[in-house]
Copies of this chain bind each other. A is one copy, B any other.
Amino acid sequence: MARRQTPLRVIPLGGLDGIGKNMTVFEYGDDMVLVDAGLMFPDDEQLGIDLVLPDYTYVLENEDKLRGIIITHGHEDHTGALPYLLMDLTRKVPIFSSRLTLGFIQGKLDEHRIKNPKFKEVKDGSHITLGAFQIDFFSMTHSIPASLGVFMRTPAGTVMHTGDFKLDQTPIDGVRPDYSAINRFATDGIDLLLSDSTNATRPGFTPSEAAVGPSLRHIIKNAPGRVFVASFSSHIHRLQQVCDASVAVGRKVVVTGRSMITNTKVARELGYLKIADENIVDAYDVEKLPDEKIVVLCTGSQGEPLSALARMANGEHRSLSITADDTVIISATPVPGNEKSVQGIINSLSKIGCTVFDKSQTLVHVSGHGSQEELKLMLAMTHPRNFMPVHGEAVHLRAHARLAREVGIPESNIFLMDNGDTLELSGGKARIGAPVDSGVVYVDGLSVTDADPVVLRDRQKLSQDGIVTVVATVSRRGHKVGDVEISMRGVSFANDDALVSDAQDVVRGQVAKVSDDNYAIETLRKSIRNGLSNFLWNRTHTRPMVITVVMEV
Q: In the docked arrangement, what's the CA distance between A483 and B474, Å? A: 13
A201: chain B residues within 8 A (beta carbon)? 360-361
Contact yes or no, B394 A445, CB < 8 A: no
Alpha-carbon separation in the docked complex, A131 to B347 (Å): 39
Distance, CA A122 to CA B212, complexed state (A): 53
Distance between A529 CB and nearest chain B CB, rounded to angstroms: 12
Docked-complex contact B473 and A547, CB < 8 angstroms: no
Tell me which of B339, B393, B444, B547 contacts A347 (CB under 8 A).
B393
Give Cα distance in the complex from A545 to B201, angstroms: 44
Q: Which B residues touch A337, using CB under 8 A?
A: 339-340
Q: What B residues does A459 contact at CB under 8 A? A: 462-464, 466, 490
Most chain B CB inside 10 Å of its own CB: which residue of A48, A449, A469: A48
On whether A462 and B489 interact (CB within 8 A), knowing A339-B337, A350-B398, the answer reads yes
Q: Does A1 reach chain B (CB closer than 8 Å)?
A: no
* CB of A456 to closest CB in B, whole Å: 8
For residue A541, CB closer than 8 A to chain B, the reply is yes
A487 at the B interface (CB under 8 A):
yes
Residue of B with least CB distance to A47: B463
Instruction: State whether the Cβ of A467 lies closer than 8 Å to any Cβ in chain B.
Output: yes
Q: Do A442 and B492 form a contact, CB below 8 Å, given A47-B464, A466-B455? A: yes
A337-B340, A446-B540, A446-B541 are contacts. A467–B465 as well, Cβ < 8 Å? Answer: no
Q: Per DSSP, are chain A's interface residues mostly helix, strand or loop, or mixed?
A: mixed
- Cβ contact within 8 Å between A494 and B455: yes
A551 interface residue per 8 A CB criterion = yes
A48 touches B551 (CB 8 A): no
0/1 interface trace, chain A 159-185, chain B, CB 8 Å (1 if under): 000000000000000000000000000
Q: How many protomers of this protein does the assembly include?
A: 2
CB distance from A465 to the nearest CB of B (A): 6
Chain B minimum-CB-distance residue to A486: B549
Q: How far is the CA of A460 from the CA of B490 in the complex (A)?
A: 9
Interface size class of A (residues with CB under 8 A): 35 or more
Report the nearest B residue to A344, measured CB to CB: B393
Q: Flag whether A132 is at the interface (Cβ < 8 A).
A: no
* Binary B-proximity of A539-553 (CB < 8 A = 1, otherwise 0): 111100101010101
Q: Does A43 contact B (CB under 8 A)?
A: yes
A346 interface neighbour in B343, B395, B466, Cβ under 8 Å: B395
User: Which residues 93-141 of A have a CB within 8 angstroms of B?
Assistant: none
CB-CB nearest in chain B for A447? B492
Q: Tell whether, in the assembled complex, residue B462 and residue A549 are in contact, meaning their CB atoms are under 8 Å apart.
A: no
Cβ-neighbour of A466 out of B462, B465, B491, B493 (below 8 A)? B462
Q: Within 8 Å of chain B (Cβ to Cβ): is A215?
A: no
Query: How many Å lie between the Cα of A445 and that of B343 in the bound state?
Result: 29
Complexed CA–CA distance, A553 and B474 (Å): 11
A351 within 8 A of B: yes
Asked if A290 is an interface residue, CB under 8 A from chain B, the answer is: no
- Taking the closest CB of chain B, its distance from the CB of A273, in whole angstroms, is 32
A247 close to B (CB within 8 Å): no
Bound: A464/B458 CA distance, A: 11
- Are the C-beta atoms of A485 and B549 separated by less than 8 Å? yes
Residue numbers in B under 8 Å from A462 (CB-CB): 459, 462-463, 466-467, 489-490
- The answer to whether A44 and B398 touch across the interface, beta carbons within 8 angstroms, is no
Tell me, rounded to whole Å, the shortest Cβ–Cβ distance linking A332 to chain B: 16
Residues A449 and B489 in contact in the complex (CB < 8 Å), given A350-B398, A353-B398, A463-B48: no
**Max count, chain B CB within 10 A of own CB: residue among A346, A483, A489, A545:** A489
**16 A/B residue pairs, CB under 8 Å, sorted by A:** A44-B340, A47-B463, A48-B466, A336-B339, A336-B343, A337-B339, A349-B395, A350-B398, A445-B492, A445-B540, A446-B539, A447-B540, A462-B462, A463-B463, A549-B549, A551-B553
